[in-house]
Structure formats: structure tokens, C-alpha cells
Amino acid sequence: MSDRYAYFIGCTTPFRESNYDLSTRKIMEKLDIELIDMVDAGCCGLYYELVNELTYLSMAARVISMAEDLKLDLMVICNGCNGALYRANMKLKQNPELRDEVNRVLSGVDREFRGTVDVKHYVRVLWEGVGVDAIKKKVVKPLDVSVAAHYGCHLMKPSEELRFDDPGEPVSLDELIEATGAKSIDYYEKSLCCGGYVLAADQSIAYNMTGRKLRNVGKAGADIMVTACPFCNVMYDANQRAVASEMKEEFNIPVLHYPQLLGLAMGYSPKDVGLEQNRVRVDPKLFR
Amino acid sequence: MDLRKEMGSDVDGRTLNYCFSCGMCTGGCPSAMITDSRYNPRRILHRAVIEGRLEDDIWLCTNCYTCQERCPTNTKVADLINLMRRIYVKERGVPEFIKPLIENLSSCGFTSSIGDLENKRRERMGLPRIKHNSEIREIIEKTGGGL
């Protein structure tokens, strides 16, 4: 397994969730995984899937080509980036005519897609590459909290292409959560989407979807919720107050990025993993 | 515009013909659940097949792919809805709510501008500054993806 990755953080993380970036770097350091920054990479092209396919594929191929220049597999921390880049990589590797068309576009910015690297979500890197047992060995402060895991959609779906875990009965994130000592609980409609994708098109539908899950998480008695995607996190954490107002009910559910949870179990302080930046206050007593 | 012809020229689009309107897609769809089936992927596909009609509702799909996972005939339901969105843009232009995203991508290469506020916070956290780029604008222009 590669222990070095070209590290791509996308747009949402640096704009609103730099604590996700911070905590990811901390846990990877502890796991001896070196991350090589791609700070000027920009957007993965996700939204152009809805607008113009050639623009989408060219934007995705540009990001992938930057990892190819570094001769490293590309590690992403956003489900949206994962779906967009993984699928574009596969499509362009399999279709030489399409690849030529995209490379004619990329020649204008002095880049070329060659099809020499893989795209991996960090949950895949941790679960398939590092392994739950190796992660457990790095835990110095086992946690005693009950966690509602939220996988999000583009970590596993469409499964015919992404081929990771089982979207019907996923276990990867639950096992990674339990590696910290925490209990990952079952709850109603666990696989429900966060609704983030329709936020701009119809805020009410998006907020009702987000709120429905927050309600289910609350009813199941979880102490916290854990996400593996910055935009899902925005919906449950940053937008929680607005969602509560739309639904006319209170939630008060702290929402952590998975690397924050693992980081705390690895002995990092709340500040080391940027916990003070989470919008819904996280009671540090939960992690004593 | 002939929707069926447009869809027939796409490899995923051709799977529209597999659909026999069983409704498994709608039964698992989160937007259908929230809207009491006002958003209804079964109806969207059915109208596309029978009438060649493009519905405005396509923009309410969350892109979660649950429909595609559940479909018993391997119709690429979510991919079809994305294809219909691209056909919609070609026919009727980019919807208003997507325009700010495209403007940001063209001006800085990110969906939101990463400015001084964000970069100063990052520096305080010991994280590298994020640089804007103009390459994405060039790609958008060259591929006809602009507004």
C-alpha cells in the first residue's frame, strides 16, 4: 500500500470546514501516511455533471493529472469529490476516444490525463489500506460515547462503479468509529441522504431531509453524529440551527468529522482537531 | 428537441428503455419521501419514454443514487436524471440557482471564493494557504461550459 498520497481537499473544506483538513492531517501523521498538498487544485468538477459533461470530465481530469505529476494516488476527503473524480478516472481510463477529447482541452492548460493513478476516499484508505486493527493500535485514549454514523452517498454509490463496502448494509465507517472505543449505534433511516445536493434548488426539501435524520439520531439516543464528507457535515452541523427553525424543533446534536473523533482517541487535544470550530457546541466532557 | 433521440445517443441514456415503471426508484427516493411524491422519478422516466417530455422537477433529485441501486432492470435512473439535466441546460439554459457556482468557478477555480478571511484562519491553524487558479476558467471556456 502506498503510504504517500496526493492530498485533495476540494472547495467546501477550505471555505467552511478547515478543522476537517486539520484533523485529517493529524490522524494521517499518526498513521505514518504522508500527504502531498495540491493547494491550487480548485474544484473537482462535480456540479458540471449536471451542466456539461465535457467540462466536468476535463475539470476532473485536470485534478487527477496533478496527482499523476506527483506519481501518487489521489486521496480525497469529500464524498462529492470522490464520486466525481473516481467515476471520471474510470471513464477516461476505459474510453480512449473520450480521453483524447479531454486531453485536447487540457493541452490548453499544459496538462495531460494519462490514467496512471487511482482515486481513493480516506475512509477507503483507512478501512481497506491501513485496517481497523492497525488503527486500534494507535488509540491511546479509548472513547466512551455513542455515535450515529452518517456515511453519505458518493462514498459507495453508484456501487456498480465505486465498489466499496456495501451501500445496503455498510460497515466500514461503523468499524472505524468502534476502533476508537466508541459505540456506533443503529438508527432509523441510517442511509438517508443529507439533502445537500438540492440545497440551492429547494432549501425546504433539503432542510426537511436533514432534519428528518437529525430527529432520528436524537430519538436513537446518540451522543454525537459523525460524518465523512464536508458537505454532509455542513448540513448537519453548520445548518443545524436553520434546519431546527424550519422544522420548528430543537436538536442540539454535536456533529464531528470522523478524523476529529479518531484524533481525540489518538490523544490529540480538542484544539488539535479544531473542535472549537464545530458550530453545535461539543461538550469536552464527552471525551474525558 | 426530441428528448428520446437525445437520450438514445448516450450510452446511459439508452437504459431508459429498460424501465417498466415499477416504481422501486420512487419508493426509495428521499426527495419523493419529503415531498409526498410530488418529486417522482418513476413519473419523470415514464413521461420521458411515453411523451418525450422533460420535467422541471429533475432539479429536485439529490443525486443519492438510491434509485439506481434499487432498480430491478438496471435502468441508470440517477444517471438518466443527470443526463436530462444536461439536455435541459442545452435547451433552456443554466437554471438561476446554478449560475453563482459557475461564476465562482470561472473567477477563482473554486465553488466559493477562498479569500483572506479563510486563508488567515488556515494560517492560524498551521494549514497551507489556498491559491485561486485561472485554469478552470480556461477549461470552462474551451468546453462551452460558461454562462
* Percent of chain A residues past pLDDT 70, beyond the cut: 99
pLDDT digits (tens, 9 = 90+) for A125-140: 999 999 999 999 999 9
Is A55 within 8 Å of B140 when comparing Cβ atoms?
A: yes
Tens-digit pLDDT profile for residues B51-109: 998 989 999 999 999 999 999 999 999 999 999 999 999 999 999 999 999 999 999 99
Residues of chain A found within 8 Å of residue B136, distances taken between Cβ atoms:
42-43, 59, 62
Q: Report the topology of domain B3-92.
A: Fumarate Reductase Iron-sulfur Protein; Chain B, domain 2 (1.10.1060)
Q: What percent of chain A has pLDDT over 90?
A: 97
Q: Cα-flanking dihedrals φ and ψ of residue A261, to 5°?
A: -60, -50
- Nearest by CB to B97, from A19, A153, A200: name it: A200
Domain residue spans in chain B?
A: 3-92, 96-142
Looking at residue A39, what is its pLDDT?
Answer: 79
What pLDDT was estimated at residue A1?
43
Nearest-by-Cβ selection for B145 from A15, A51, A201? A51
Chain A, 122-151: which have a CB under 8 Å from a chain B CB?
none
Burial class (CB in 10 A: 0-12, 13-18, 19+), A220: middle
List, for residues A216-260, the tens digit of each pLDDT value: 999 999 999 999 999 999 999 999 999 999 999 999 999 999 999
Dist CA B84 CA B65 (whole Å): 15
Looking at residue A40, its pLDDT comes to 84
Cell 422519478 -> residue: B41
Model confidence at A94: pLDDT above 60: yes
Chain B hits for A109, Cβ within 8 Å? 135, 138-139
Res. A2: pLDDT tops 60 = no
* Residues linked to residue A121 through DSSP beta bridges, in sequence order: A76
User: Into which CATH architecture does domain A4-122 fall?
Assistant: Up-down Bundle (1.20)
- The pTM of this model reads 0.97
Give residue A267's pLDDT: 98
The answer to whether A18 contacts B118, with C-beta atoms less than 8 Å apart, is: yes
Over residues A84-105, mean pLDDT:
98
* Backbone dihedral region for residue B21 (phi beyond 0: left; psi -120 to 50: alpha; all else: beta): left
A97 CB near a chain B CB, below 8 Å? no
Quick check: B111 and A43 in contact, CB under 8 A? Answer: yes
pLDDT at position A288: 81
Of the residues B61, B63, B86, the best mutation for testing chain A's interface (the one with the most A CB atoms within 10 Å of its CB) is B63
| pLDDT reported for residue B1 | 80
Determine, for residues B85 and A201 on separate chains, whether the beta-carbon distance falls below 8 Å: no
Q: What is the CATH number of domain A131-287?
A: 3.40.50.11810
Quick one: pLDDT at residue A284? 85
Residue B28: pLDDT band (50, 70, 90) is very high
Please check whether the two domains, A4-122 and A131-287, share a CATH topology: no
Residues of A in contact with B61 (CB under 8 A): 197-198
Q: Which of A198, A232, A271 to mutate to test the interface with B (most CBs of B within 10 A)?
A: A198
Flag whether residue A36 sits within 8 Å of chain B, measured between CB atoms: no
Query: How many Å apart are CA A275 and CA A279, to the nearest integer?
Result: 9
Would you list the DSSP string of A146-208? Answer: EEEEE--STTT-SHHHH--S-SSS--HHHHHHHTTTPEEPP-TTTT----GGGTTT-HHHHHH
Question: At residue A213, does pLDDT exceed 80?
Answer: yes
Domain boundaries, chain A: 4-122, 131-287
Does the predicted interface ipTM exceed a cut of 0.90?
yes
By CB atoms closer than 10 A (0-12, 13-18, 19+), residue A226 is buried
Check residue B55 and give its pLDDT: 87
Say yes or no to pLDDT of B12 above 70.
yes
Q: Per the CB < 8 Å rule, is A109 touching B139?
A: yes
